[in-house]
Amino acid sequence: MPASTRRAAVIGGNRIPFARANGAYSRASNLDMLTATLDGLVARFGLSGERLGEVVAGAVLKHSRDFNLTREAVLGSRLDPATAAYDVQQACGTGLQAAIAVANKIALGQIESGVAGGVDTASDAPIALHDDLRRVLVRLNAAKSPVDRLKLVGQLRPGQIVPEIPQNSEPRTGLSMGEHAARTALEWGIGRAEQDELTAASHQHLAAAYDRGFFDDLVTPYLKLTKDNNLRADSSVEKLGKLKPVFGKGPDATMTAGNSTPLTDGSALVLLGSDEWAAEHRLPVLAHVVDSETAAVDYVHGPDGLLTAPVYAVPRMLARNGLTLQDFDLYEIHEAFASTVLATQKAWEDAAFAKERLGLDAPLGPIDITKLNVAGSSLAAGHPFAATGGRIVATLAKLLRERATEENKDQRGLISICAAGGQGVVAILEAKA
């Protein structure tokens, strides 16, 4: 047993450009995308034939045949097939939670290296058979005698052929994420203009990051796509202002297809390792994983919004680390919806909320928005659910490393990712000068 723990290093990342659903990757499966992403990572870090400690990834929309998705991706990749792998799933928190799982094993000395992330396709989503048809077919398969089979065939009805398409909705509430977010937006009085401003900034930041070559060593093109195709470099508040609301009702509706993330296909992974492993392989350490926290809220019958769990997770993590919300050089708050990011900030700034709901004497206070999502986030890049965590971890780690080098000063970054199911995963990364 290891006597002490160490901090896992974020060495780098790889993702494929994110593609709006039913577009560039419409024929690619989760396995295809994850394998390509893994191979891109292997190429970037020269890991061909290498046995890594572990590969952990997942997908939110997953075919039953992909029960061992990550392991299959490893077997199809250039990694040593003796590299172990397993799947995790925590909705939009999948990628970050996978990274935490790997980082924790590295911290404990159980493994020296690992890859974490996720993939999702909304284009090749699993379509289930109508429940009745499915049951008849399962029984038919199990039926022993021809008579039994004939009886079962007699139960088939044309109406059963209508398939059940997975919906981006919460099983317990029947509401889409957008509808949930619209409620939270209304509750916190999030205005249309501020959402559109945040959205335009996301696009502009992402475009600028591409322009300066920031993603040259974070993204590997896939299926002829070289950039996230949701990105609109010329996005502006004015253009976004012309869109009609799609979530929420009546005059209070503020959430549009612009200030909400579209359904997206994509995949992202990060490479983690111990400092020693990185040094042995002459690989750079971008940042270290300091701590993480996962919170959940009762969005079904309780007072909290579906995507507000990070509001709770962050103060718990800050308290444990003796930090304030202002002790960060960069913030990465996943932009599920522009309103989510804004509501999260408002909740942190709200004294009554702090007291009544967070049990704090004082609110966490505001963050400096010039430090927020400085290389763009999900509104611009898109949001393939399980892939977002890997995108953010790699992006933030590289941003911190750049700043630490430029300013010759340690840098600290906060990641906050809200997830379906009323959960939120947050983490702290640090880069040494």
Partner 1 sequence: MTASVDRKVTELDGPPSLGPLYARAAAGAALPGGGGRDLPAREIVRRGVSVEQEHLADYALACGFGIGGALPLTYPHVLAFPLQVVLMADRSFPLPLPGLVHLANRITAHRAVTPDETLDLRVHADRFVAHPKGAQVDLVAEARVGEELVWEGRSTYLARGAEAPADNPPGTDIAEPSTPTGTGAATWKVAGDTGRRYAAASGDVNPIHLHPLTAKAMGFPRAIAHGMWTAARAVAALQGRIPDAATYDVVFRKPLLLPSTVELVTERSGPDWSLAVRSARKPDKVHLTGRVTPA
Partner 2 sequence: MSNDLLSNLSNTPVAKQLGLPTVPRLRRFEPGQALLSGPVLVTSVGDGRFAKPISALVEENGQRVVTAERSESRTSIDTAGEEKLNAAVLDLTGATTLADLAAAREILTPAVKKLGPSGRVLLLGAEPGEASGAEAAAVAQSLDGFVRSIGKELRFGATANLLIVSGDAAPSAVDSSVRFFLSSRSAYVDGQNVHVGAPVGPTLDPAGMDDPHDPDLPLRGRVAVVTGAARGIGAAIADTLARDGATIVAVDIPAAGEGLAKTANRTGGTALQLDITADDAPARLISHLEQRHGGVDLVVHNAGITRDKLLANMTEDRWNSVLAVNLGAQLKINAALLESSVLNEAARIVCVSSQSGIAGNRGQTNYAASKAGVIGMVRALAPKFAERGATINAVAPGFIETEMTGHMPIGTREAGRRVNSLKQGGLPVDVAETIGWLGQAESGGVNGQVVRVCGQSMLGA
Enzyme catalytic residues: 92, 383, 418
DSSP code for 337 = B
Kindly write out the interface string for residues 121-140 of this chain, putting x where it contacts partner 1 by CB under 8 A and - elsewhere. ----------x---------
Report the run of H or E that residue 270 belongs to, with start and end.
strand 264-273
265 near 122, Cβ under 8 Å?
Answer: yes
Taking CB within 5 to 8 Å according to partner kind, which of partner 1, partner 2, none is near residue 239? none
139-148 long-range contacts, Cβ below 8 Å, gap at least 24? Answer: none
Taking CB within 5 to 8 Å according to partner kind, which of partner 2, partner 1, none is near residue 175? partner 1
What does each C-alpha distance from 353 to 160, 266, 309, 311 come to in angstroms? Answer: 48, 36, 13, 10
Residue given tokens 């249309």 in the structure block: 192
Taking CB within 5 to 8 Å according to partner kind, which of partner 1, partner 2, none is near residue 283? partner 2
State yes or no: residue 408 binds partner 2 (CB under 8 A).
no
Task: Determine the size of the site formed for partner 1 (CB under 8 A).
Answer: 12
State yes or no: residue 406 binds partner 1 (CB under 8 A).
no
State yes or no: residue 81 binds partner 2 (CB under 8 A).
no
- Short-list 209, 241, 412, CA closest to 338: 241
Kindly write out the interface string for residues 256-295 of this chain, putting x where it contacts partner 2 by CB under 8 A and - elsewhere. --------------------------xxx-----------
Instruction: Count CB atoms within 10 A of the CB of residue 152.
Output: 18
State yes or no: residue 228 binds partner 2 (CB under 8 A).
no
| 65-84 positions binding partner 1, by CB under 8 A | none
Taking CB within 5 to 8 Å according to partner kind, which of partner 1, partner 2, none is near residue 120? none
Among 154, 171, 216, 251, binds partner 2 (CB under 8 A): 216
Task: Determine the size of the site formed for partner 2 (CB under 8 A).
Answer: 24
CA dihedral 88, 93, 99, 100 (to 10 degrees): -100
> Of 171-179, 281-289, 327-335, 360-368, which segment contacts partner 1 by CB under 8 A?
171-179
- Short-list 430, 62, 52, CA closest to 269: 52
Helical H runs in 167-269? 177-187, 192-211, 237-240
Kindly provide the b/e burial profile for residues 16-28, where b requires at least 16 CB atoms within 10 angstroms of the residue's own CB. Answer: bbbbbbeebbeeb
C-alpha R_g of the chain: 22
42 vs 186, beta carbon nearer partner 2: 42
Structure tokens given for 200: 């335009």
Structure tokens given for 67: 């029960």
Closest distance to partner 2 from the beta carbon of 48 (Å): 4
Taking CB within 5 to 8 Å according to partner kind, which of partner 1, partner 2, none is near residue 131? partner 1
Structure tokens given for 365: 């206070």
> Of 63-71, 94-102, 208-216, 336-344, which segment contacts partner 2 by CB under 8 A?
208-216
Among 2, 301, 322, 408, binds partner 1 (CB under 8 A): 301
The end-to-end CA distance of the chain, in Å, is: 31
Among 13, 40, 95, 117, binds partner 2 (CB under 8 A): 40
**How many whole angstroms separate alpha carbon 298 and alpha carbon 405?**
42
Taking CB within 5 to 8 Å according to partner kind, which of partner 2, partner 1, none is near residue 404? none
Residues that bind partner 1 (CB under 8 A): 131, 159, 170, 172-175, 179, 183, 300-302
Residues that bind partner 2 (CB under 8 A): 36, 39-40, 42-46, 48-49, 78, 213, 215-217, 219-223, 226, 282-284
